[in-house]
RNA sequence: GGCGCGGUAGCCAAGUGGUAAGGCCAGGGUCUGCAAAACCCUUAUUCGUCGGUUCGAUUCCGACCCGCGCCUCCA
């Protein structure tokens, strides 16, 4: 079966066929840099990372663009509070964003672009929309007239003919002709950053940056556009109106939306006190691996209910995989190769791929891996898993880790070097042989202090970092 | 009110028209100087409820109940 995705536009799972055979043009709505990323943001970015890696594993070349929103209401508000220019303010959080995403091994897209570096492109697009009659001016701002774009609503499947009873309506938007019209260019307000343009001094509306930058770097039609579900409406709907209003061509072929993360079954919010940034969790001593694993383990179209119990369970699961990798590396196996296990490893790799091909079914993919781990562990205990079977098992684990990236430990941060640990382990083994158990226990305690766990196995001692 | 999503073991969760993957927890066991760790085994006659279609439904159809999201800034 081919690689396939659920497309929000068609509300169906569709085979993925990019415009060019092996090239994927992909755009991601990136962060608004006014704070540290929280785990909800990270759930979406982790999905995008898994998607990237899987596309590459399937032989595609990626051209992935992500924007940084660095001018926006909340940025202006918080920068002012901090007494900084928006440039100073957003630079700090942009850098923090990359530090944080790297901590949980989220790859950096091929191209990262900032909104404020693309004001001329946005202005040109707004002018093009004006020329096509999609806009009107009011109180010094420029608005998009939704009624002028007949496809409006096709992504979010929203029926525009009324029915907003019960919905919250912004009564302040008196200057718009229609409550659903959106702003392309905002007239300057006192104390706000602004740019001089043919429409007057002001700043861009939020939606225009994405369609302008996406088209600049990826062309009029993208293969994939992703973001959180909350962006479906109005942000992505408006991007379509902007891009297609200008080009008349389909803007995006596959829209992929990541569901939200909940905390203890509730929407994460500062007022509920259940709002966590990555830094919060790392300060609480949770490992980056367990966070990444947890965020990746629930398929992206399901809501992910974040709990600390779940995070601990994720850590245990990661440890299980690491122990298995360590066992493959350090245990002694009987000579020979058992064709059964070579075959099993191969079929597991295939089923792993089939799960990910199926709209990035990470839970299914993990199931395949753990099943193989359990069965082959049992075979090792029984002595039927032989030395010649190790490479195939390691291959499987490597394929897994190219996507999930949680097994291979990061470089040790300070502490003892591998050689120092090996020396202490050897000393302890000698002590044990000469029945100097006090010294042996002392070394074990010392290593434990340094974050190194010793494990006595029948094939000797092995160690790992906590 | 409109649109949409989901209800599978204590928790997380995959899945299929033919009789329930996997992870965590828990219980049992193996190993061991002690211990830890590790590993193995066991754990849903049942998939929100009630009907319908079918030889057969958790899986298809209908109704209902419950939870949630979007319709406003939000990953």
Tell me the residue range of the domain where A374 lies.
Answer: 278-404
Q: Give the distance, in angstroms, between the CA of residue A102 and the centroid of all CA atoms in the same chain.
A: 11
Share of chain A above pLDDT 90, in %: 75
Domain identity same for A348 and A317: yes
Which has more pLDDT, A160 or A321? Answer: A321
A32 and A153 housed in the same domain: yes
Question: How far apart are the C-alpha atoms of A55 and A356, rounded to whole Å?
Answer: 10
Average pLDDT over residues A291-316: 95
CA of A44 to C1' of B59 (A): 30
pLDDT at residue A465 tops 90: no
Rounded to whole angstroms, the distance from the CA of residue A291 to the C1' of nucleotide B43 is 28
Please report, for the domain that includes residue A325, its CATH number.
1.10.730.10
Q: How far is the CA of A294 from the C1' of B64 (A)?
A: 35
What would the pLDDT profile of A397-427 be if each residue is shown by its tens digit? 999 999 999 998 765 555 677 877 887 888 8
pLDDT at A161: 55
Shared domain check, A161 and A20 = yes
Is A412 a member of any domain?
no
Rounded to an integer, the average pLDDT of A80-84 is 94
Question: Confidence class of residue A359 from pLDDT cuts 50, 70 and 90?
Answer: very high
Distance A268 CA to B12 C1' (A): 18
Interatomic CA–C1' length for residue A302 and nucleotide B5, angstroms: 8
Closest residue to B33 (CA to C1') is A437
A391 and A452 co-located in one domain? no
> DSSP secondary-structure letter at A167?
S
The reply to whether A272 falls in a domain is: no
**Within a domain: residue A167?**
yes
Comparing A161 with A429, the larger pLDDT belongs to A429
Say yes or no to pLDDT of A45 above 70.
Answer: yes
Q: What is the ipTM of this complex?
A: 0.95
Q: Do A71 and A145 share a domain, yes or no?
A: yes
**Would you state the pLDDT for residue A171?**
41
Claim to verify: residue A160 and residue A69 sit in the same structural domain: yes
Which nucleotides in chain B lie less than 7 Å from some protein C-beta?
Answer: 1-6, 11-15, 21-25, 31-41, 67-75
Q: Which nucleotide is nearest to A312 (CA to C1')?
A: B24
The answer to whether residues A332 and A436 belong to one domain is no
Q: Rounded to whole angstroms, how far apart are CA atoms A274 and A66?
A: 28
| pLDDT at residue A456 greater than cutoff 90 | no
Q: Which nucleotide is nearest to A73 (CA to C1')?
A: B73
Residue A411 resides in a domain: no
Same domain, A374 and A437: no
Residue A287 φ/ψ region, left for φ over 0, alpha for ψ in the -120 to 50 degree band, beta for the rest? beta
The per-residue DSSP string of A6-72 comes to: EETTTTEEEE---SBTTEEEEEE---BSSSPPBHHHHHHHHHHHHHHHHHHHTTPEEEEEEEEB-SS
Q: In angstroms, rounded to a whole number, what is the distance separating the alpha carbons of residues A364 and A368?
A: 7
Same structural domain, A239 and A285: no
Query: Distance between CA A152 and CA A76 in Å, rounded?
Result: 30
Listed range (A18-27, A179-188, A209-218, A262-271) with the worst mean pLDDT? A262-271
Q: Which residue is nearest to nucleotide B15 (CA to C1')?
A: A364
pLDDT for position A188: 92
Is A270 domain-assigned?
Answer: no
Residue A62, pLDDT score: 97
DSSP string, A310-347: HHHHHHHHHHHHHHHHHHHHH----SS--HHHHHHHHH
User: Which nucleotide's C1' atom has the smallest distance to the CA of A168?
Assistant: B72
In a domain, A264, yes or no: no
Mean pLDDT of all residues in A442-450: 79
CB A201 within 8 A of CB A194: yes
In this prediction, residue A170 carries a pLDDT of 43
What does the pLDDT average to over A44-60? 97
Instruction: Say which CATH number the domain at A194 has.
Output: 3.40.50.620
CA atoms within 13 A on the CB side of A5: 23
What pLDDT does A381 receive?
94
Q: How long is the CA A305 to C1' B65 vector, in angstroms?
A: 23
* Judgement on whether residues A165 and A225 belong to the same structural domain of the protein: yes
In this prediction, residues A45-57 reach a mean pLDDT of 97
Residue A418, pLDDT score: 80
Residues A429, A296, single domain; the answer is: no
The answer, yes or no, to whether residue A455 has pLDDT greater than 90, is no
pLDDT band at A216 (very low <50, low <70, confident <90, very high): very high
Q: Model confidence over A195-207: pLDDT tens digits?
A: 999 999 999 999 9
Task: Look at residue A227 in the predicted model and tell me its pLDDT.
Answer: 94
On the question of pLDDT at A160 being above 70, the answer is no
The pLDDT of A107-115, averaged and rounded, is 97
A364 nearest nucleotide via C1' and CA: B14
Domain boundary pick from A228, A258, A288:
A258
Q: Which residues share a beta bridge with A112? A: A66
The mean per-residue pLDDT over the stretch A75-96 comes to 95
| Rounded CA separation A172/A266 (Å) | 29
pLDDT of residue A193: 93
Q: Is residue A413 part of a domain?
A: no
In a domain, A236, yes or no: yes
Q: How far is the CA of A299 from the C1' of B13 (A)?
A: 9
In this predicted model, what pLDDT tens digit does every residue of A227-266 receive, in sequence order? 999 999 999 999 999 999 999 999 999 999 999 999 988 8
Number of domains in chain A: 3
Q: Is the pLDDT of residue A173 over 50?
A: no
Are A305 and A206 members of one domain? no
Q: pLDDT digit string (tens) for A328-342?
A: 999 999 999 999 999
Judged on CB neighbours under 10 Å (0-12, 13-18, 19+), A321 is buried
Task: State, as a whole number of angstroms, the distance between the CA of A119 and the C1' of B23.
Answer: 48
Lookup: nucleotide whose C1' is closest to A294 CA: B12
pLDDT above 70 covers a percentage of chain A that reads 95
Predicted pLDDT at A164 = 43
Closest nucleotide C1' to the C-alpha of A45 = B75
């Amino acid at each position: 079966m081919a690689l396939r995705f659920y497309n929000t536009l068609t509300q169906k799972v569709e085979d993925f066929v990019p415009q060019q055979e092996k090239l994927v043009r992909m755009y991601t709505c990136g962060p608004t840099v006014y704070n540290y990323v929280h785990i909800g943001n990270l759930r979406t970015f982790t999905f995008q990372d898994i998607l990237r890696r899987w596309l590459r594993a399937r032989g595609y070349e990626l051209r992935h663009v992500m924007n940084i929103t660095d001018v926006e209401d909340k940025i202006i508000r918080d920068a002012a509070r901090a007494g900084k220019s928006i440039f100073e303010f957003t630079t700090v959080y942009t850098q923090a964003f990359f530090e944080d995403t790297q901590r949980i091994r989220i790859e950096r897209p091929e191209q990262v672009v900032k909104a404020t570096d693309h004001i001329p492109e946005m202005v040109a697009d707004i002018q093009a929309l004006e020329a096509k009659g999609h806009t009107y001016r009011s109180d010094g701002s420029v608005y998009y007239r939704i009624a002028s774009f007949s496809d409006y609503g096709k992504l979010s499947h929203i029926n525009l003919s009324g029915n907003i009873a019960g919905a919250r309506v912004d009564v302040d938007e008196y200057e718009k002709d229609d409550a659903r019209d959106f702003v392309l260019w905002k007239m300057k307000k006192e104390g706000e950053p602004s740019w001089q343009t043919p429409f007057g001094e002001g700043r861009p509306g939020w939606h225009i940056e994405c369609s302008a930058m996406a088209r600049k770097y990826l062309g009029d039609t993208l293969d994939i556009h992703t973001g959180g579900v909350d962006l479906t409406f109005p942000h992505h709907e408006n991007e379509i109106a902007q891009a297609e209003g200008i080009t008349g061509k389909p803007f995006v072929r596959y829209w992929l939306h990541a569901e939200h993360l909940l905390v203890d079954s509730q929407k994460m919010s500062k007022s509920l006190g259940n709002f966590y940034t990555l830094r919060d969790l790392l300060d609480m001593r949770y490992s980056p691996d367990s966070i990444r694993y947890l965020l990746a383990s629930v398929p992206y179209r399901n809501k992910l209910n974040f709990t600390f119990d779940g995070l601990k369970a994720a850590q245990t699961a990661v440890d299980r995989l690491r122990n298995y990798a360590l066992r493959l590396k350090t245990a002694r196996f009987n000579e020979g190769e058992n064709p059964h296990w070579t075959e099993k490893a191969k079929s597991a790799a295939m089923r792993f791929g089939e799960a990910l091909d199926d709209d990035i079914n990470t839970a299914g993919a993990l199931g395949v891996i753990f099943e193989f781990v359990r069965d082959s562990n049992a075979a090792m205990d029984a002595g039927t898993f032989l030395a010649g079977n190790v490479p195939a098992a390691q291959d499987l684990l490597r394929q897994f880790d190219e996507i999930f990236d949680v097994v291979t430990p990061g470089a040790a941060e300070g502490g003892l070097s591998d050689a120092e640990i090996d020396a202490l382990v050897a000393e302890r083994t000698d002590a044990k042989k000469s029945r100097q158990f006090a010294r042996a226990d002392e070394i074990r305690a010392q290593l434990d202090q340094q974050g190194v766990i010793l494990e006595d196995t029948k094939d000797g001692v092995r160690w790992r970092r906590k």
